[in-house]
Amino acid sequence: MKIPHISASSVKTWNNCRLQFYAEKILKVERRPLHPLTKMGIAVHEAFEKGTKCKSYVDHISEACNSQDLDEELVGKSTELCKTCEDWGWWNGVDDLDHCIPEYEFLVDLGEGIHVKGFIDRLDIKGTTATILDIKTQSKKFSANELKNNLQADIYNLATRISFPVIQDPIRVEFWVLRHEIQAVTRTKEDAMRTKEYLLKVGRDILDHPQDEHPQPTKGNNCRWCDYQRSCPEWQL
């Protein structure tokens, strides 16, 4: 199966249901419109990305909400979440950094024709250390197990070290779960090597799957959100 890259979300889909992955990546099934709360999250991210130079979301949140066509209630919630993020200290220490990179996009080559892609909300670098900040507007915070085994944090760690070899120290990955708290994990060089091997294994499994062969579906909680639902044999049972 030929695909241009993998990501944290696509690996999760592959692990949950290979038919859903196939439907999205190969069959290009039509995707349902974004949920309004998802669009709210996009607006919050956009406001902070554009506000990096002036260190304020205030001048950008209205435009960001308009671009997502949010209703008045969600505009209010977006603004409230932005204020929470700023009150928690989003801009603290920025002037002391060597680099503060908002919305850092990466596409790293792992070898064997396998690439991994993603976006980091903010990447802070000072000397040989780095901190990764990721805004979350989700309703629930991560459980201890979800945080410990967070693939997104693993991939951020790996991509940062490949893109910036000067980073040698442990990387702190902070998830700013704005409805709850800041949840953080630390990742090392050794963690990055384990992540690379894991992604190579997943990538090989995907590449080895025949392009014209539909994988078997896996029934689970993700079925209700699958865009291939009406054509899936498991859903019709």
Residue 230: is its pLDDT beyond 90?
A: no
- The chain-wide mean pLDDT, for the chain, equals 96
* pLDDT score recorded for residue 4: 96
Question: What is the average per-residue pLDDT within 185-198?
Answer: 98
**pLDDT interval class at 133 (50, 70, 90):** very high
Facing residues of 104 across strands?
120
Q: What percent of the chain shows pLDDT beyond 90?
A: 93
What are the structural domains of the chain?
1-22+93-210+221-237 (3.90.320.10), 32-91 (no CATH)
Is the pLDDT reported for residue 225 higher than 90?
no
In tens, the pLDDT along 71-128 reads 999 999 999 999 999 999 999 999 999 999 999 999 999 999 999 999 999 999 999 9
Distances (CA, A) of 74 to 8, 35, 77, 81, 115: 27, 12, 5, 10, 36
**Both tokens assigned to 5:** 């890259």
Confidence at residue 237, expressed as pLDDT on a 0 to 100 scale: 54
7-20 average pLDDT score:
97
Q: Is 197 exposed, middle or buried (0-12, 13-18, 19+ CB in 10 A)?
A: exposed
Q: How far, in whole angstroms, is CA 2 from its chain's centroid?
A: 22
Tell me: pLDDT of 213 over 90: yes
pLDDT(236) > 80: no
What does pTM read for this prediction?
0.95
Q: Give the H/E segment covering residue 105.
A: strand 99-111
Report the pLDDT value the prediction gives residue 221, as an integer from 0 to 100: 86
